[in-house]
Structure 1
Amino acid sequence: MPVTVTRTTITTTTTSSSGLGSPTIVGSPRALTQPLGLLRLLQLVSTCVAFSLVASVDAWTGSMGNWSMFTWCFCFSVTLIILIVELCGLQARFPLSWRNFPITFACYAALFCLSASIIYPTTYVQFLPHGRSRDHAIAATFFSCIACVAYATEVAWTRARPGEITGYMATVPGLLKVLETFVACIIFAFISDPNLYQHQPALEWCVAVYAICFILAAIAILLNLGECTNVLPIPFPSFLSGLALLSVLLYATALVLWPLYQFDEKYGGQPRRSRDVSCSRSHAYYVCAWDRRLAVAILTAINLLAYVADLVHSAHLVFVKV
């Protein structure tokens, strides 16, 4: 049976899919005139303008430029699919849970666009010479910020309210799962060079922690999107609680071990950035090794806080079968 979640024991239903009190309009062009429809049109236009500006001057060379271009194209494509599904009234035929999919995507898209809005100007735009390409790149960054705000607004409008029966992904723990997996992906990008961790078993353990917790959180998201939470051999609430507790414990060890073995000289670390030769100059499209180590340490702390919040908020959920 599908599982829905409410944040309190009061199980009253909502009359609005946008969170603004307007009725849901299915299979009608009028859906675009509703607040949520207009917001999604803004998302569509802003991401389209962002990648079009960059593509018109070929200003996306290197891994960071590729990431930003992928972000805008991906967000544009999925937003277009969501609009088509709602305009044609195809929610029941969509292969994933429509109760969970739009807000899950909106949360990922907000994080994707936020990362592009930070990474693209800091690692790419600042190295471009003044001229048409730089102007287009700056404008693309502006529209990326607009898209980020638009997706974040959708999450704020459609997230679960107290007493509302909704899909798990619309609750705080569900949204935290999105954050946890996204941060883990950023960590994987920073530790893509095996030389950062292969010299110490403790650091290899940290990498294993990131991978294990990412896989478990991804499984929880996929089970909800596919509405197949009943395939687990244990109750889904127990799985979520165990997942959050295990992740907190594992990330706590990583938060201690990663900085200790990366920045403490007694354990072979480098406490000062100035000692890293790769950080002696600014490079386009490149993040030096010491900065990568520091970024992973910070992201580890962020994810630990996310898992702690996940564990705390999970205790306030009441699961009902529908």
Structure 2
Amino acid sequence: MSSRWIRPGTAAILCVFCFLRLPQLFSTCVAFSLVADMGIWRGAIGSWSMSFWCVCFAMTLIISTVELYRRRSYFPFFWHNISVTFACYAALICLSASIIYSITHVQFLPHGPYRDRAIAATAFSCIASVLYVIEVTVIWAMYDLEETFFYVHTTRALLKVLETFVAVVMFALLCNFTLYLQEPALEWCVAVYSICFILAAVVLLLGLAEWEYMPPRPFSIFQLVLSLLSVLLYVSALVLWPLYQFSEELGGQPQRPSDGDCRDELTYDMCFWDQCLAVAVLTAINLLVYVADLGYWARQVSVGTENVSSAPNSVQSHPVTSQSEDIL
């Protein structure tokens, strides 16, 4: 077992479980239970939010069970990397579900018990996101005290978390196939989102498995090429998606309609025009994240070149030190 692995005692694990994991389980369980009991008033957004809360509940339960029964060594990946990565995703998921559900659905519900249920579910979702943020902060503090390197405590890992999370939100919005089918340019945009998501997810998983301890220079060049490819693909999507969705000359709809599901009142489905706009905004946000990722790896390659020219054996002789300099 690696000497860099923190081995919290049973008391510490029980403390984390009682003060963080149990409230997380309770909050996510109450959130999706309240929405699940709303019947036809749940709506598509409610079902989408409920599925996210269910995922957070299930993953928190699995991680808690593994830690309580001391089965972490059964997993091929670095366990604490997995747990803190999930906590980062869960915090973003619960926060996004709270915002989207309240803006697109809760405010249109009529006053009564169903609206109260939806407001309570949103509140518990916000509480869950705060608890997951606290967990991430506590784990990072533990590693800082131990002066231990772990992948998710680096800039490149946080960028990958953001890239994959934004892509997942876009995929949830793109479940409505009528937004892009029968139009090759829009299908290309969806392919771009999928390709970039897969690349980012693979790199993130390799990082969690500590694959980044390969020779630094080839790894940095490999990451630079992937980031450049992702930026170019996202630039094409940022141009084509708004052009074909909002340009009247190309069959798009420049203004938000006021009929169907786009009425300013409670509807079962989310307005298709709002979905198109949300995907366009998220495309721009993810492009900025990929540009930041590209800049990071361009700097790493530049610094690595200087290090190799001045001290060719320094990186190979101190791989852990080189990686630890990347800790935030």
Give 1:32's aligned amino acid.
L
- Structure 2 residue matching 1:273: 3-state secondary structure: coil
Residue 48 of structure 2 aligns with which residue? 67
Root-mean-square deviation (Å): 3.6
Q: Which residues of 2 match residues 247-262 of structure 1 at below 5 A?
A: 247-262=230-245
Residue 64 of structure 2 aligns with which residue? 83
- Structure 1 residue matching 2:133: 3-state secondary structure: helix
Q: Which residues of 2 match residues 1-322 of structure 1 at below 5 A?
A: 25-26=8-9, 28-33=10-15, 38-55=19-36, 61-159=42-140, 165-227=148-210, 235-274=218-257, 279-280=262-263, 282-314=265-297, 315=299, 320=319
Q: TM-score, normalised by structure 2?
A: 0.77
CA displacement 1:186-214 (0-9 Å, x = unmatched): 22232333433345433232222111101
- The offset of 1:292, in angstroms, is 1.6
- Structure 2 residue matching 1:286: 3-state secondary structure: coil
Q: Distance in 2 between matches of 1:187 and 1:47?
A: 22
Q: Distance in 2 between matches of 1:76 and 1:289?
A: 29
Q: Distance in 1 between matches of 2:35 and 2:175?
A: 26
Give 1:110's aligned amino acid.
A
- Structure 2 residue matching 1:96: 3-state secondary structure: coil
Assess if the C-alpha contact under 8 Å between 1:59 and 1:137 holds in 2.
Answer: no
Assess if the C-alpha contact under 8 Å between 1:113 and 1:147 holds in 2.
Answer: yes
- Structure 2 residue matching 1:100: 3-state secondary structure: helix
Assess if the C-alpha contact under 8 Å between 1:276 and 1:289 holds in 2.
Answer: no
Change (3 A) 1:235 1:170: same
Q: Distance in 2 between matches of 1:130 and 1:102?
A: 40
Give 1:305's aligned amino acid.
L
CA displacement 1:9-32 (0-9 Å, x = unmatched): xxxx999x6xxxxxx523x13433
- The offset of 1:100, in angstroms, is 1.6
CA displacement 1:247-303 (0-9 Å, x = unmatched): 112112211222222223343332222487653453423122221221111000010
Q: Which runs of 5+ in 2 are unaligned?
A: 305-314, 324-328
Q: Distance in 2 between matches of 1:309 and 1:289?
A: 30
Q: Distance in 2 between matches of 1:106 and 1:60?
A: 30
Assess if the C-alpha contact under 8 Å between 2:31 and 2:121 holds in 1.
Answer: yes
Which range is displaced more, 70-79 or 164-173?
164-173
Which structure is higher in RCO with an 8 Å CA cutoff and minimum separation 6?
1
Change (3 A) 1:97 1:29: same
Assess if the C-alpha contact under 8 Å between 1:100 and 1:224 holds in 2.
Answer: no
What is the percentage of aligned positions where both structures have the same residue? 55
- Structure 1 residue matching 2:254: 3-state secondary structure: coil
Change (3 A) 1:278 1:82: closer
Q: Distance in 2 between matches of 1:285 and 1:152?
A: 32
Q: Distance in 2 between matches of 1:255 and 1:204?
A: 13
- The offset of 1:155, in angstroms, is 2.9
- Structure 1 residue matching 2:80: 3-state secondary structure: coil
Q: Which runs of 5+ in 1 are unaligned?
A: 3-12, 18-23
- Structure 1 residue matching 2:60: 3-state secondary structure: helix
Give 2:112's aligned amino acid.
G
Q: Distance in 2 between matches of 1:37 and 1:220?
A: 33
CA displacement 1:39-95 (0-9 Å, x = unmatched): 333323322332343445558734322222222222122222222333333222234
Q: Which has the higher helix share?
A: 2
Residue 308 of structure 2 aligns with which residue? none
Change (3 A) 1:76 1:274: closer
- The offset of 1:146, in angstroms, is 0.9
CA displacement 1:151-204 (0-9 Å, x = unmatched): 12333444586x955232332221221221121122223233343334543323
Residue 326 of structure 2 aligns with which residue? none
